[in-house]
Amino acid sequence: MEDKQYYLYGIHPVMDALQSGRQFTKILVKKGLEPGRLQELSALAADHGVPIQQVPVQKLDAVVRGAHQGVIGYLAQIDYVPFEEMVESALSRKAAPIFVVLDGVSDIRNLGAIARSAECAGVDGIVIPAKGGAAINADAVKASAGALLRIPVARVANLRTALYYFRDSEFQIVAASEKAEDMMYDVNLRRASAIVMGSEGSGISEQVLSLCTVGAKIPMTGETGSLNVSVAAAVILYEAVRQRIQKQ
């Protein structure tokens, strides 16, 4: 079986990827796929020089049982963006970029949901560790509704090195944590910012936390002690959006 890391499934994620310029080696569609959908996908694939093969549904089920919507596209590769290039590119476009740094977020559905919120909020990129975090694969792309194909993602060997680079580039490093002293409303998110989200279980690691320059706490009045990391990311990113819109 072909490596799960190198395919996407579902008609919309595959079409989004084609439109975003991703390179496919082939696209498999089930025999009997609805003519309208097949025609639209076939035209888009032909525009990008990607062959389409019609196959029995059993062949698709052997790869992704039931969730493929009759379409699986095999990617030539999934590219990460070089970290420093991503940061410098953002700084060349705007005075105060915003990035999301994921410290140990290992659930691919959370990665996808965070990417979806980040892309909607205009975030300039996501930083993930090479080890100890979720990698971009078909399930993550699907959970992101295709956002992972539209937002730059850098995969770094050492998050601390990346945070030092942010600090040297005059970014504030914001630890999103329920243990922070300051409410997120009191943190100036109009500045160039790298917002750090911690792992689902233990939060931000001590090593990473030691490099954060400010903490931001989401107010909660219920008895549950914390939010899911993808929900927390959406909340704090849209506080940044609110602050930046108000400034305008």
Q: Domain containing 90: what range?
A: 83-247
Confidence of residue 1 (pLDDT cuts 50, 70, 90): very low
Task: Say if residue 22 is in the same domain as residue 98.
Answer: no
CA distance 55 to 142: 22
Task: Say if residue 146 is in the same domain as residue 126.
Answer: yes
Q: How many domains does the chain have?
A: 2
What residues pair up with 29 in beta bridges, in sequence order?
Answer: 54, 71
- Tokens 């560790």 correspond to 129
| CATH number of domain containing 191 | 3.40.1280.10
Domain-ending residue, one of 20, 43, 75: 75
Could you read off the pLDDT of 26-62 as tens digits, one per residue? 899 999 888 888 899 999 998 887 889 999 999 999 9
Could you read off the pLDDT of 141-198 as tens digits, one per residue? 889 998 998 999 998 989 999 999 999 999 999 999 988 999 999 999 999 999 999 9
| CATH number of domain containing 20 | 3.30.1330.30
CA distance 154 to 86: 7
Per-residue pLDDT, averaged over 64-93, amounts to 87
More reliable by pLDDT, 65 or 126: 126
Mean pLDDT (the chain) is: 90
Q: For residue 232, what are the contacts with CB-CB under 8 A and spacing of at least 6?
A: 176, 197, 218, 226
Task: Say if residue 130 is in the same domain as residue 52.
Answer: no
- Residue 4: pLDDT over 80: no
Confidence of residue 78 (pLDDT cuts 50, 70, 90): low
Task: Say if residue 63 is in the same domain as residue 157.
Answer: no
Asked if 55 contacts 70 with a C-beta cutoff of 8 angstroms, the reply is: no
Domain-ending residue, one of 49, 75, 101: 75
CA distance 99 to 173: 10
Task: Say if residue 69 is in the same domain as residue 88.
Answer: no
Task: Say if residue 30 is in the same domain as residue 142.
Answer: no
CA distance 30 to 13: 16
Task: Say if residue 191 is in the same domain as residue 226.
Answer: yes
Q: For residue 112, what are the contacts with CB-CB under 8 A and spacing of at least 6?
A: 139, 140, 141, 142, 143, 144, 145, 147, 148
Domain-ending residue, one of 26, 44, 75: 75
Task: Say if residue 237 is in the same domain as residue 152.
Answer: yes
CA distance readout (Å), 210 to 178, 196, 204, 233 = 16, 12, 10, 20
Per-residue pLDDT, averaged over 221-235, amounts to 90
